[in-house]
Structure formats: C-alpha cells, structure tokens
Amino acid sequence: MTKARHTLYLIIGTAFGTGLAPIAPGSFGALVGVAYHVGVVWSMPETWHLPALIIGLIAVIVANHLLTPWAVDYWKDEDPGNFVLDEVAGYLIVPILFRGGPLFPVVLWSFFLFRTFDIIKIPPARQIDQNMHGPWGIVLDDLISGAYAALVMYGLAWWGVGGL
C-alpha cells in the first residue's frame, strides 16, 4: 500500500483525525456527524435535508465497510476505537429518524442521547457489539443506539421537554 493511500484511509477512518483524540475518540468522531448535519441544514433547502442526510449515512456506511479490513489490520483490533466511522453513522441515524424541532436542541439531544446509548449498549446493541464481527459488527450497534436516541427524542418532544 502506498503511503498516500494509507494516509487517505487514516484520514477517512478516523473521521478527519477526530478518532485519534487521546480521550473519548468516539465522541469526537460523532462530532463529524454533527458538523455534517448542521452543514446540511444551514446550506440546503429543507426539502433536501433528509435526502442529504441519507446520502451521507450511506457514504459513511460504505466507507466503514470498505475500510474495516484495513482498520482491523492497522490497529490489530476487531473493533478499533480510533476507527470512528461507526460513531458518525450512529449520530446521523438520529436526525434521519427524528424529523422536527429546532436545530440546536435537536443536535444537542441527538449527540447526548446517541453517545449515552452507544456507551451503555442496550440490547440488542450489546449482543451485536460482543458477537458480530466485521463491518456490520462495527457499525450496527451504533445504528441501533442512534435509533434508541431518536425514540427517546420523540418521547421528549411529546412531553414538551428539552426544546424539541
């Protein structure tokens, strides 16, 4: 592998280096999803928000699948902590599933709830994290955690809590 290709894989796999943070690399990686979400909302007409978020999610999942073998070999770990495309994807599922509310409360609650569910891993996310390997094993538990976050956000919105 050329040095340029290795560097490109490292940049993509660590979500522009955020996964190399010495503490909480997953949280820093999820912030790339936040930046994409905010960028979409600020730069596109509302009718394009959902398609753009879905395209971004698909691109991140494809990158996760293509780069997983490289990441596993590079970090010598089946689910490397510095490989944070799964956190980007997990965050992005929240604004895809939770449609509505002012941008900043949605972003704050999405990030906080996604990271909380990703850390505690409520079943079946825990079983997937422990038993499934490869690209789907890396990303699927994060997508489930994001779906849990979106579900809680609907509950918060229904109760009129958190500015949603």
In the chain, domain spans: 26-159
Please report the DSSP string for 27-68 in residue order: HHHHHHHHHHHHHHHHHS-HHHHHHHHHHHHHHHHHHHHHHH
d(CA 136, CA 10): 20
- Reading the block at residue 29, the tokens are 């990686």
What is the overall mean pLDDT for the chain?
97
Q: Are 5 and 74 in contact (CB under 8 A)?
A: no
pLDDT at residue 106, rounded to an integer = 98
| Backbone dihedral angles phi then psi of residue 121, each to the nearest 5 degrees | 55, 75
Residues 20-75 have pLDDT tens digits of 999 999 999 999 999 999 999 999 999 999 999 999 999 999 999 999 999 999 99
pLDDT at residue 85, rounded to an integer = 98
Predicted TM-score (pTM) of the model is 0.96
